[in-house]
Structure 1
Amino acid sequence: MIFRREAPIHTRTTEIAPGIHRLSTHVADVAPPAGFTFNQFLIVADEPLLFHCGPRSLFPSVSSAVAALIPLDRLRWISFGHIEADECGAMNLWLEAAPRAQVVYSPLGCNISVSDLADRAPRSLGEDAVMDLGGKRVRLVPTPHVPHGWEAQMLYEETTSTLFCGDVFTQVGDGEAVTESDIIPAAMAAEDMFGATSLTPDTAPTLRRLAELAPSLLAVMHGSSFRGDGAEALRRLADEYEQRLNVAATR
């Protein structure tokens, strides 16, 4: 995505769970008139982890927001949901700013993209493997083509029951950092606008598998995060996509 240089950029920080900070930048030029939020998430632990790098154009603002929470050279791990500019465009800028940092990604993602794209060799972490960050524990969950990208993945932080779900539940606009209201209608409206989800026979089953984690917080990359029954929200989203797939199959 390309942002006009004259547009003011400001990244806001909200602690949405103990030690989990949402870094949100609203960009009015994207999806007008409501605009679009680009959210990164910092897990503060003995070995801090940043989920989503953001695009290169937002790096000055987002890195300043992170630096207000921890020294950048403390950052130890970087990860993201899939290969796309707003997910990993600034990856090498983060690796340069944080000399101890290393990208952590699934073996598939490392093999097909990350090992070549990253200026420093990534750490490969297998399916459902858990990393102890020191005070926080993250599990890697591969989600091929959900919402899109063969190498798609999510992270689940066990101590706060937070699922970092990337582009799933995308919403337009600049809503509150965390909501307990139903986010399904807004997510479906955004899907109607962008058509960004890979709709396959595996879409709904993957979402239902994620529901088995029983997250109480869904950390959403675009839009408000959701606090509540994350399993129910994931199952309802699965039902929506299953219905859409069935309709498409009859055309």
Structure 2
Amino acid sequence: MKKITDKLYQFSIYIPPMDFTIHQYLLDTDPAILFATGTAQQAQSTLSDIKKVLGDKLLKYIFISHVESDECGGISVLKKAYPDITVICGELAARELPGYGYTGKIQMKKGGETLTDGYLKLKFVDYPSEVHLQNGILCLEENSGIFYSADIALRFGNGVGKIIKGSWSDEVNAIDAERVPNEKACEKLKEDLEAISPNLIAVGHGFCIDCR
């Protein structure tokens, strides 16, 4: 576990043969939210750290960008530890989560929608990541300026606990057909991302990016 900002904690696994890092994040606000679960094995190993950070406070939300094992594979582990958890995700993920053993509360969101609860002020962006380019979602927490980017802004290398300086506009412009293999969908994603201005990109893979 690495503390990235005052309230943001990063849980990571680095895979040397691939030179690839996988992250999940806990935002220790009131209420608290976890961005991505990791695999079932990862969730089991990070659960004690999550409980250590939160203490007596409950984890209220889990944000799932899209359906992959590193994004939602550990959902049943976390549901067992926090039975009243609410998952925030897109429509396709909501349909698929029972296959990962999750039958709890879900708030389905799509691009342009928001969720406000206590400290949290979440804004969502459609993310054409799913099978056949169906939309997942990305998330900006507006009070902290933290943007969970899932597989956008991906870099190889050991990014555990590391932050690099960067430009939001450069990161948006760098999104290409390898990330979104449909020209129209890619341009729409870039247009939506250009409408926000994060302070920090909490990446799913690689190095967090300070955009201030």
Does TM, scored on the shorter chain, surpass 0.5? yes
Q: State the Cα distance separating 1:134 from its structure 2 match.
A: 1.5
Point out where structure 1 has 5 or more consecutive residues left out of the alignment: 1-11, 230-251
- Alignment CA distance shift 1:206-1:226 (3 Å): same
TM-score calculated relative to the size of structure 1: 0.71
- The counterpart of 2:186, out of the listed 197, 203, 221, is 203
Task: Describe how 1:195-234 pairs up with structure 2 within 5 A.
Answer: 197-201=179-183, 202-228=185-211
* In the alignment, structure 1 residue 25 sits paired with structure 2 residue 13: yes
| Cα distance change, pair 166–147 in 1 and its aligned pair in 2 (3 A) | farther
Residue number among 137, 149, 157 corresponding to 1:173 in the alignment: 157
> SS where residue 201 of structure 2 aligns?
strand
Greater mean alpha carbon deviation, residues 18-27 or residues 90-99: 18-27
Aligned residues: 205
Aligned-pair distance for 1:223?
0.8
Asked if 1:49 corresponds to 2:33, the answer is yes
* 2:42 aligned residue: 58
Alignment of 1:68-147 (within 5 A): 68-71=52-55, 74-110=58-94, 112-114=95-97, 117=100, 118-145=102-129
Partner SS state of residue 97, structure 2 = helix
SS at 1:93 equivalent: helix
Deviation at 1:24, TM superposition (A): 2.2
Q: Structure 1's 143 and 93: CA in aligned 2 closer, same or farther, altered over 3 A? A: same
* C-alpha contact 1:106 1:127 (8 A) present in aligned 2: no
Distance 1:136 1:55, change over 3 A: same
TM-score by length of 2: 0.83
Mapped contact 2:39–2:73 kept (Cα < 8 A): yes
CA-based RMSD: 2.8
Structure with the larger RCO, 1 or 2 (CA within 8 Å, 6+ apart): 2
Higher normalized strand content (fraction of residues): 2
CA shift in 2, pair 1:60/1:116, >3 Å: closer
SS at match of 1:160: coil
Residue pair 1:178, 1:224 contacting (<8 A) in 2 also = yes
Q: 1:173 to 1:92 in 2, by over 3 A?
A: same
Amino acid at match of 1:213: I
CA distance in 2, matches of 1:50, 1:158: 16
Shift of 1:218: 1.1
